[in-house]
Amino acid sequence: MGIVGFDFGTTNSVMSIVAGNRCIPILDEGFPHPSVVSYRGGEVVVGREAKKALASATSGVVGNTVKSPKTMLGQGSVVIDGTSYSPKAVVRDVVAHVMMHARDDRVAKSSGEDFSRAVVTIPVDMNGARRQELREACRMAGLSIYQFVHEPLAALYGHLRSLPDFKEEFNRLNRELVLVFDWGGGTLDLTLCRVADGMLVQVLNDGCSEVGGDVIDDMLVNEIESRALAKRGISREVGRQVGAVARLREEAERAKIALSSKEVYSVLVLDYFQSEVGDVDLEYRITRQELQEIVSEKVSQAISRIESLLRATRIDPSNIELCLATGGMVNMPLIQERLHEIFGARRVQISERGNTIISEGAAWIAHDCAQLMLAKNIEVLVSRSLHFPIIRAGTLMPREGEVQRLPEPLAFYCSDPTDGVAKFQLMAPKRTGRSIQITDERNFLGVLSVDVDAQKRPLLERLLLDAAIDENLVLNATARSTIAGKSDSLELHNLEFGLSVAAGSSEDGAKKLDDEPLTIIGDHDIGSIQLRPNIAVRQDDLKAVPGEVLYKWNSHYFDLRNSPPREQDDEKAHYQPCSVCRKVYCECAALRAQAAKKLQTRHEKT
């Protein structure tokens, strides 16, 4: 059996399959399955039927109903209608429902797929623990996750792969920058990519859940109700009938969609209010202008994420060749106008399949056997601010049941044990590929702090660093000191990847990942603080030891006949405490010179 694509979304979920030359999303009466589950006694209700009971669009538990269970992964337990459930069990019920519906679909039956293996998409900010719980929940439902892929990357792949002339489009975009703006019901995800010889390479990712489309739906519901009451001259709290808010929410969603193409939409919800207000029906004509006023603040927050991402990479918007906007929110004219202001109308592409493009991209990735590779080197900052790569760009990423690990732990040495701590600073170049220069800018990923013996001489204590990337695309790094016997661990999930259409060796992929320098439009950040690296690659590398530290252990090193390096000699001079006052940067010499000058002046006068 083949491998399908599965977008387990915060708001909606959908599976897709590739049949012949077409990618087919398996929908429920033309729409994705709402990621909602309701527990009614011994009955489990999932999808559209469960959604009807919701009065709020935001994620969480309402009575016996759970919306967006994906957001609860990693919480340990969740209480639903007085009963404690594992979030994995709730997610399992949604996944099992989508799988069952897919297996019953007529097109799916003819394809012979059993929907037991899938490439599954995830938000860019989903941490390692939640990824592992999602994998376990899918396994409980009978679905094996072949590989994870970031949602925006899958969306871009699905968009390009579905074009009739997709090879020509790949060639047109070669060496160009592409921004994916994926604004769905639960999250906003951004990915800046570069197309490189048939590969999609992530340059930088960003994501948040504060401006999800569901938040805007709730704002719209509240505004429609308050404005309808204000029209009647009612400012007090009024009672609503059972299930009324859920029906208004459905009507608000329809209004949001309709106002993408209309100027006015009439909202009508029968039997909404209690009889105390007279007319129990809620009726309000909302204009596109009103809708834009209601959501303008959230839209500005979302657009600011784009501006922040471009500032972080120092890329001018004019260098973005394509902005692909996907997700249900991007159909709003206000959002499209703001994107056009930044990139120009020609370079903005609004996906017509925003609700399914991510799952379609995952299905195409599975069908094409596209290889996922690490886009940037993972490096350790060593003494003298040099960067030592521990995992190189172009390394193939593990699939189900695999782990990409170092053959053996890497050995380093503590070049300055003075403060009793060795610091492993993990970095990644802003540029993709292996051909990285010393002067290229880096992003800080995290730091490992390992206790060492402060009484030992420099370069004596050996430090061991081990690193592995697991099937969840999470980097786990562990550092250990051999004399002090201490260790520290770190998990990193904010990695960038490259996706290749054509299967080939990792060396071929690494060459395609190599990137030209990004366009710089600003100066380097001023005033940033950086830890002084105190680890060295070689045990005999005395140049890695700070001058004032080395002087304590080997003063002969600084004999002028040995031509000590200027940098270390300056460090000794600047940071070695004064022999008189024991202060660094003391004024003893200056005071002595001043006293001598006064004495000389006095002698001259006499």
Beta bridge partners of 379: 389, 427
Residue-range domain boundaries for the chain = 4-211+300-368, 213-295, 371-535, 545-575, 576-606
User: pLDDT at position 57, please?
Assistant: 47
Question: What are the CB-based long-range contacts (under 8 Å, 24+) for 238-243?
Answer: 238/273, 238/274, 238/276, 238/277, 239/273, 239/274, 239/276, 240/272, 240/273, 240/274, 241/271, 241/272, 241/273, 241/274, 241/280, 243/52, 243/53, 243/55
Q: What are phi and psi of 15, to 5 degrees?
A: -110, 150
pLDDT higher than threshold 50 for residue 521: no
Superfamily of domain 4-211+300-368: ATPase, nucleotide binding domain (3.30.420.40)
Most confident of 186-190, 340-344, 506-510: 340-344
Most confident of 95-99, 103-107, 167-171, 526-530: 95-99
User: pLDDT at position 505, please?
Assistant: 43
Average pLDDT over residues 440-459: 94
Which segment of 101-115, 382-396, 497-511 scores lowest on mean pLDDT? 497-511
Rounded to 5°, angle at Cα 206 from 438 and 519:
40
User: pLDDT at position 239, please?
Assistant: 87
pLDDT higher than threshold 80 for residue 542: yes
23: amino acid identity, one letter? C
Q: How would residue 587 be classed by pLDDT, with cut points 50, 70 and 90?
A: low
DSSP-derived 3-state class of residue 390: strand
Q: How would residue 328 be classed by pLDDT, with cut points 50, 70 and 90?
A: confident
Q: Which helix (H) or strand (E) holds 230?
A: helix 213-231
Q: How many Cβ atoms sit within 10 Å of the Cβ of residue 593? A: 11
The larger pLDDT score, comparing residue 57 to residue 535, is at: 535
Q: Which helix (H) or strand (E) holds 46?
A: strand 43-46
pLDDT higher than threshold 60 for residue 544: yes
- The predicted-structure confidence for 96-141, as pLDDT tens digits, reads as follows 999 999 999 887 777 778 899 999 999 888 889 999 999 999 999 9
pLDDT higher than threshold 60 for residue 524: no
pLDDT higher than threshold 50 for residue 520: no
Burial (CB < 10 A; 0-12, 13-18, 19+), residue 381, is: buried
pLDDT higher than threshold 60 for residue 454: yes
Average pLDDT over residues 155-175: 90
Beta bridge partners of 106: none
Average pLDDT over residues 358-387: 94
Same fold for the domain at 4-211+300-368 and the one at 371-535?
no
Helix axis angle, 357-368 to 151-161, nearest 10°: 80
pLDDT higher than threshold 70 for residue 281: yes
CATH number of 371-535: 2.60.34.10
With a pLDDT cut of 70, the percent of the chain lying above it is 90
Enter the DSSP assignment of 58: S
Distances (CA, A) of 81 to 35, 54, 57, 60, 602: 18, 14, 18, 12, 94
Average pLDDT over residues 349-373: 93
pLDDT higher than threshold 80 for residue 439: yes
CATH number of 213-295: 3.90.640.10
The larger pLDDT score, comparing residue 108 to residue 289, is at: 289
User: pLDDT at position 218, please?
Assistant: 85
